């Protein structure tokens, strides 16, 4: 059983929702990332989504784009990101780590080499934003050979036919992008999210995580009642940007934010379970 499967199975047995924070590796400095990963786990994160810096992150809004720019000022590469995961694994062998990024750095490294190095480092899943399942057979073959879950995105505009295709290709969990547009967008309608999750679950038994537009503990709590996982990205990266000049403050500040979100999610799910 993979780390992702173990994590979701445990949370399901406890009737809790996974909290998945996103940070860009190397933002604002390479030395910040691994201590921050540990701090997030201590604050209640169940899975870490680690962004691979890229010069043209087209699915990301301005906040996360700037986080890539800060990391790239330190020349943080895919190899560096894998080394960070490996360092994280020296102290944490149980928390799943999912890499989120774009295809170009992986193609430069080579699919087979990427899958091999990622597995050796302790990566559990790979979400490549610009690699749709229709074009991912070769990549998926290498990932699965090394027991890494390929994770795919579904959007509000995804048709039933394509939803089925994506769900058949995915493993680990399915990531539902709850808003049209880029990361950091607003106006999340939780009722609409719940309807969409019901449709998605007709096509898969995998856990379904929800991201984009979840900015605070209140929104995370509402989404956490209907989703299997809540992904927090821009809200965290906003905080990191605010403390970019004082990186020693980042881990405590992000931990404080995640503790608040974790408590909000758990209180909401407990109220749901008590009904």
Looking at 92-106, 178-192, 242-256, which range is the least confident one? 178-192
Confidence check: pLDDT of 57 > 60: yes
The residues that are catalytic are 49, 60
Confidence check: pLDDT of 273 > 90: no
Arithmetic mean of pLDDT, 187-211? 93
Arithmetic mean of pLDDT, 78-90? 98
Q: What is the CATH number of the domain that holds 228?
A: 3.20.20.70
Mean pLDDT taken over the chain: 94
Looking at 44-48, 111-115, 120-124, 266-270, which range is the least confident one? 266-270
Query: So what's the pLDDT on residue 187?
Result: 61
Contact criterion met (CB below 8 Å) for 155 and 180: yes
Percent residues over pLDDT 70 in the chain? 97
The domain containing residue 157 runs over which residues? 3-274
Arithmetic mean of pLDDT, 44-67? 92
* Neighbour count for residue 223 (Cβ, 10 Å): 28
Integer Cα distance of 213 and 209 in angstroms: 13
pTM of the model: 0.95
Residues 6+ apart with CB under 8 A from 156: 177, 178, 179, 180, 192, 196
pLDDT tens by residue, 218-257 = 999 999 999 999 999 999 999 999 999 999 999 999 999 9
Contact criterion met (CB below 8 Å) for 10 and 229: no
Query: So what's the pLDDT on residue 182?
Result: 45
Return the CA Rg of the chain.
Answer: 17
Percent residues over pLDDT 90 in the chain? 87
Looking at 55-59, 93-97, 102-106, 227-231, which range is the least confident one? 55-59
Higher pLDDT, 216 or 185: 216
Confidence check: pLDDT of 162 > 50: yes
User: How many domains, in total, are found in the chain?
Assistant: 1
Integer Cα distance of 91 and 42 in angstroms: 12
Which of 188, 263, 189, 272 has its CA nearest to residue 225?
272
Confidence check: pLDDT of 181 > 80: no
pLDDT tens by residue, 19-33 = 999 999 999 999 999
């Amino acid at each position: 059983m993979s780390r992702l499967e173990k994590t979701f199975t445990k949370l399901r047995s406890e009737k809790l929702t996974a909290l998945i924070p996103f940070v860009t590796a190397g933002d604002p400095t390479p030395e910040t990332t691994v201590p921050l990963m540990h701090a997030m786990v201590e604050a209640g994160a169940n899975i870490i989504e680690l962004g691979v810096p890229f010069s043209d992150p087209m699915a990301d809004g301005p906040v996360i784009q700037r986080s890539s720019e800060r990391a790239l000022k330190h020349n943080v590469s895919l190899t560096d990101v894998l080394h960070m995961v490996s360092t994280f694994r020296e102290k944490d062998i149980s928390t799943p780590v999912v890499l989120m990024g774009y295809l170009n750095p992986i193609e430069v490294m080579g699919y087979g080499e990427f899958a091999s190095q990622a597995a050796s480092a302790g990566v559990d899943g790979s979400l490549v934003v610009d690699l749709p399942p229709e074009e991912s057979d070769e990549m998926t073959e290498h990932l699965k050979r090394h027991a890494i879950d390929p994770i795919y995105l579904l959007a509000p505009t995804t048709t039933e036919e394509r939803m089925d295709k994506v769900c058949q290709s995915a493993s680990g969990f399915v990531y539902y992008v709850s808003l049209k547009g880029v990361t950091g967008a607003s106006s999340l309608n939780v009722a609409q999210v719940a309807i969409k999750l019901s449709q998605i679950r007709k096509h898969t038994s995998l856990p379904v995580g929800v991201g984009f537009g979840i900015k605070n503990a209140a929104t995370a709590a509402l989404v956490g009642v209907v989703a299997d996982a809540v992904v927090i990205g821009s809200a965290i990266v906003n905080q990191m940007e605010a403390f970019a000049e004082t990186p020693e403050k980042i881990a405590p500040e992000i931990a404080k934010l995640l503790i608040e979100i974790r408590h909000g999610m758990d209180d909401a799910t407990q109220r749901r379970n008590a009904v």
